[in-house]
Structure 1
């Protein structure tokens, strides 16, 4: 009996280890701390009631990290290392199997494949995340990437940005104009001389939603960056835009954190203390 008891305890421990392994990307960023400078993630002020920590995995590699709000069905932020490069813009869209609660798949997948190959119902996919249909036919709103494909340097990483856990309903004019200017032009100038740049781009939840109340429409889109020169933080900055105006305000990291603190009603700290706030 003692041996049997010992065996049962061992099995219990093994089972819990397996369970932890399957859910690692939903409980922390332990699998992908490399996307945050010095492994420091933003503080809990941004955390929603029902969060999911996603290490965005595609073709057997992690490409960036996303904190996702399962209730509002939008990302809170995506964190990545800035490596801009030309390349084909992907066309396929993915969802996150782990958010279904029905799968141990660790990689993003197409809705079609999850339904046909893995027998996960469309209803189960929709419960805790946005799906392609949620964005179909929206007027004046785009699927706005938090981590844009243009900031990634290879085909796999570019494709990995085309998951619905990395996009929010973004004002079309803003997405096509001033936010794009910031992403594609201003960032090149700002990162001059940086040996590496860590970026966190997020969305402040708004008071309205789309797709019959399923997907929150953010009130603001924001982005923050910490630039390293020879492995030491040399400068940092931020940008923020109201999600119904075609204007982007560029400001210091400290000022952005202050603005977000006002918007969230809690003190927001985005980066490790070594990143300059002025």
Structure 2
């Protein structure tokens, strides 16, 4: 055993205590590159089964949310965040990238840095395309202006058809907002991600940015109001959904509502249990995917 002075021992104990306190005393999962932003995940346990580059999204020298990013696809696999009841006006979009110090800043004027071009999507990738910037972590789901502004980074965005982004997917985000805001009594953890095409991937700008076939989302609210209306009794503590991003996709995962308005037809959203979502993710990624620690029921 290595001996140490009493002062050194006290210093180490203080360091451990400060780390444990910052993590809320509930982070007992394995710690990897998501370490600085683990509290945005339930039990500090990031989703398992999807490989990529972990990013702790930092804005204003504070960690705001987490993203599992694919450099090859130049788009995220998922973003995880803590939901808070929103207030105030929606901030203006800020198409940010990470500076050397890790903070998100707007893209500078003039030619873009080649390292940025090689590693992530940039604004010109979306110009004159048929896709909008679909933010996996939406500003709608945050209270603070800084948290809302931090979502406008292209490492949090995927190419999303306008019929989805302005239609059924937006309705889903607003529904989740109302549901969690009214019935979730404690912290609400949300993870939103994408499902790639099984074959024949779609891309923006000559293989620059991968286009997802579907978007998915799930939330975990372990502390909720037990006096739920009948239609929401299956929506707690977890609920999930998958949305179409391609009107020409088959209907095995999400059926098409033929009576929907023309501009939104084919961009339907199917709400489902967390278990059902993970079954579809396992089928498409050919590996088990776990979104929440013990499916949001662990002690």
Query: Do they fold alike, i.e. is TM over 0.5?
Result: yes
Matches within 5 A, 1:166-185: 166-185=156-175
Matches within 5 A, 1:187-198: 187-189=177-179, 192-195=182-185, 196-198=187-189
Segments of 4+ moved more than 2 angstroms: 189-193
**Alignment-derived partner of residue 147 in structure 1:** 137
TM-score, length basis structure 1: 0.79
Contact 2:196/2:211 (8 A) holds in 1: yes
Query: What do the CA deviations read for 1:188-230 (whole angstroms, capped 9, x no partner)?
Result: 1255321221000001223110112100000110001001217
**Alignment-derived partner of residue 273 in structure 2:** 252
Contact 2:50/2:289 (8 A) holds in 1: yes
Secondary structure, aligned partner of 2:184:
coil
- Return 5+ residue gaps in structure 1 as ranges: 1-26, 98-102
Q: Would you say 1:40 and 2:25 are equivalent positions?
A: no
Q: 1:190/1:106 Cα in 2 relative to 1: closer, same or farther (>3 Å)?
A: closer
Query: Which has the higher mean CA deviation after the structures are superposed, 63-72 or 205-214?
Result: 205-214
CA RMSD in angstroms comes to 2.2
Contact 1:72/1:216 (8 A) holds in 2: yes
Question: C-alpha separation between the residues in 1 aligned to 2:191 and 2:97?
Answer: 21
Q: 1:225/1:186 Cα in 2 relative to 1: closer, same or farther (>3 Å)?
A: closer
Q: 1:190/1:159 Cα in 2 relative to 1: closer, same or farther (>3 Å)?
A: closer
Contact 2:132/2:161 (8 A) holds in 1: yes
Question: C-alpha separation between the residues in 2 aligned to 1:184 and 1:276?
Answer: 25
Per-residue deviation, 1:52: 1.8
Number of positions where the alignment pairs a residue of Structure 1 with one of Structure 2:
234
Question: C-alpha separation between the residues in 2 aligned to 1:262 and 1:191?
Answer: 32
Query: Which has the higher mean CA deviation after the structures are superposed, 87-96 or 163-172?
Result: 87-96
* Structure with higher helix content: 1
TM-score, length basis structure 2: 0.73
Which of the numbers 92, 95, 108 marks the counterpart of 2:104?
108
**Alignment-derived partner of residue 223 in structure 2:** 229
Matches within 5 A, 1:1-278: 28-43=33-48, 45-47=49-51, 51-86=52-87, 87-97=89-99, 103=100, 105-112=101-108, 122-139=113-130, 141-189=131-179, 192-195=182-185, 196-206=187-197, 207-229=201-223, 235-244=237-246, 245-273=266-294, 275=296
Query: What do the CA deviations read for 1:151-193 (whole angstroms, capped 9, x no partner)?
Result: 1111111110000000000111011010000001244125532
Q: 1:236/1:191 Cα in 2 relative to 1: closer, same or farther (>3 Å)?
A: farther
Question: C-alpha separation between the residues in 2 aligned to 1:187 and 1:197?
Answer: 11
Secondary structure, aligned partner of 2:203:
strand
Q: 1:226/1:193 Cα in 2 relative to 1: closer, same or farther (>3 Å)?
A: same
Question: C-alpha separation between the residues in 2 aligned to 1:83 and 1:186?
Answer: 11
Secondary structure, aligned partner of 1:229:
coil
Query: What do the CA deviations read for 1:238-259 (whole angstroms, capped 9, x no partner)?
Result: 0101211310000011111111
